[in-house]
Amino acid sequence: MKFIKNKFSSLVAVVLLSSTLFLVQCQQKTIIEGVGDLYVLYDENEGYRILAAGSDGELLDTLLYTSLKSLWFRYIAADEQTEVTFDFRLHDKKKHRKEERFSVPWIPEKLLVVSDLHGRLDAFVALLKGNGVIDDRLHWRYGKNQLIFIGDILDRGRDDNGIAWLLYKLQEEAWQAGGKVVFIPGNHEDLVLKNDLRYVNKEHLEFAEKTGVSYSDLYGPNTVLGHWIRSSDLIWVVGEDLFVHAGLSTVMVENDYSIEEINQLGKQFIGYSTKEKKELHPRNELLFGRYGPLWYRGLVFDTERYPPISSEDLDIVLQYYKVKRIIVGHSEVKEIEQRYDGRVFAVNVKHYRNYPTDSTAALLIKRDSTFAVTYTGKKTLPRLYPPSG
């Protein structure tokens, strides 16, 4: 393991570690590269501890004190079939922004909804390019429109860390352009944060072992991405559309869980162990359980274990939360679907299967219409479920 400690006033020189170039001096900025694994931890002295993987397996472990203006990061995809590289900077935590509520009453001209990428950075970039959200250099070009990601960046795929950083980067660029990127955590974010690592790609675990830091701590509250995830709402509302990872059941209504409370408890307790959640707040057991927004499957599944919500009960949920539609991920469907006469839209497709065939991958909501879109931007009506006829 290599360790460097630098106290910067402006730029550092080029630093070579073994055969891997981690720090690059380029046009008055310092770029730190990471291949598949790139983590930034806040140092207690207001610096940054950076852990990054090189293309040859080398590890960078460095502590930096420098201006955010000169410090850049470069994520390089680790999956052999994913040719994606992008640069980004850290958000300025001191920048003043008007605090936002969980909803906005106005509807943008276009709103793209995607979920459950699970590390398929190649599919995500193709989807964003094909639908005009980003340009060829992976910069925001969606103007004042919105991108909503409804959970499950993490686990399974090799480049889930890259998807997190890309969303993080685009969130800032969208804000600068008057648009918006919303990230809603899913159950797999909660699993990783609470150290349930059964679905984590083994190469991430091997990297964490090299660092001497547990994988869940690489997304801990004292890290940039861990703080970002924990600061995200579990529910977002645009106009009369509600966005949530898994769904909402009548159990939430019967126990008077408001959106404000769900988001507040979500931010406070996501990542705690199941036992700690129950001990720390009496409302957590239901909220983080099978009928809550991270796990409920009744809006999509129809099985003995996961019985479907009735049309009447769905209306009760919609009326309670003052919306007309719920858009969910979590439960897999073959194509983007509309259910319950268009009151529910399911957007969790199998991207590893749909991407090669350019099948539907996301939901596009426009002011007067709603479409399922493919990775290349082809539009079709969301599939009806159950099929008519």
Q: What is the pLDDT of residues 306-341, one digit of tens each?
A: 999 999 999 999 999 999 999 999 999 999 999 999
Query: Looking at 76, 95, 113, which one is the last position of a domain?
Result: 76
Is residue 209 domain-shared with residue 312, that is, in the same domain? yes
Give the range of the structural domain holding residue 158, as residue numbers without chain letter.
Answer: 103-385
- Residue 249 token pair: 């059941």
Which residue, among 346, 369, 382, 388, has the nearest Cα to 111 in the 3D structure? 369
Domain assignment present for 97: no
Domain assignment present for 53: yes
Is residue 276 domain-shared with residue 189, that is, in the same domain? yes
- Residue 25 token pair: 């001096």
pLDDT in tens, 150-186: 999 999 999 999 999 999 999 999 999 999 999 999 9
Is residue 232 domain-shared with residue 323, that is, in the same domain? yes
- Which residue, chain included where needed, has tokens 């999509």? 300
Is residue 13 domain-shared with residue 109, that is, in the same domain? no
Domain assignment present for 94: no
Domain assignment present for 293: yes
Say if residues 316 and 276 touch (Cβ distance below 8 Å).
no
pLDDT in tens, 199-244: 999 999 999 999 999 999 999 999 999 999 999 999 999 999 999 9
Is residue 258 domain-shared with residue 139, that is, in the same domain? yes
Is residue 212 domain-shared with residue 143, that is, in the same domain? yes
pLDDT in tens, 102-134: 666 668 999 999 999 999 999 999 999 999 999
Grouping H, G, I as helix, E, B as strand and the rest as coil, residue 373 is: strand
The mean pLDDT value for 349-355 works out to: 97
d(CA 16, CA 54): 11
The mean pLDDT value for 248-269 works out to: 98
- Residue 24 token pair: 């690059």
Q: How many domains does the chain have?
A: 2
Sign, CA dihedral 100-102-106-112, equals positive
| CATH (domain of 309) | 3.60.21.10
Alpha-carbon dihedral 196, 198, 203, 209, rounded to 10 degrees = 50
- Residue 98 token pair: 């008007």
Q: Is 60 exposed, middle or buried (0-12, 13-18, 19+ CB in 10 A)?
A: buried
Please list, in sequence order, all residues whose beta carbon lies within 8 angstroms of the beta carbon of residue 313, skipping any fewer than 6 positions away.
249, 250
d(CA 275, CA 269): 11
Query: Looking at 76, 92, 116, which one is the last position of a domain?
Result: 76
List the end-to-end C-alpha distance of the chain, in Å, as a whole number.
63
Is residue 27 domain-shared with residue 164, that is, in the same domain? no
Containing H/E element for 253? helix 250-254
Cβ neighbours around 377 below 10 Å, total: 16
pLDDT in tens, 262-305: 999 999 999 999 999 999 999 999 999 999 999 999 999 999 99
Is residue 276 domain-shared with residue 141, that is, in the same domain? yes
Say if residues 241 and 308 touch (Cβ distance below 8 Å).
no
- Across the chain, which distance is largest between two alpha carbons, in Å? 70
Q: What pLDDT does residue 4 have?
A: 39
Domain assignment present for 98: no
- Which residue, chain included where needed, has tokens 């539907």? 360
Is residue 8 domain-shared with residue 49, that is, in the same domain? yes
Q: For a pLDDT cut of 70, what percent of the chain falls above it? A: 88
d(CA 322, CA 239): 10
Does residue 82 carry a pLDDT above 50? Answer: yes
Is residue 72 domain-shared with residue 107, that is, in the same domain? no
Domain assignment present for 63: yes
Q: What pLDDT does residue 194 have?
A: 98
Which residue, among 60, 17, 52, 23, has the nearest Cα to 36 in the 3D structure? 52
Q: What pLDDT does residue 295 have?
A: 98
- Give the model's confidence band at 26: pLDDT under 50 very low, under 70 low, under 90 confident, else very high: low
Is residue 373 domain-shared with residue 290, that is, in the same domain? yes
Is residue 71 domain-shared with residue 112, that is, in the same domain? no
Grouping H, G, I as helix, E, B as strand and the rest as coil, residue 173 is: helix
- Model pTM score: 0.92
Tell me the pLDDT of the chain averaged across its residues. 90
Domain assignment present for 362: yes
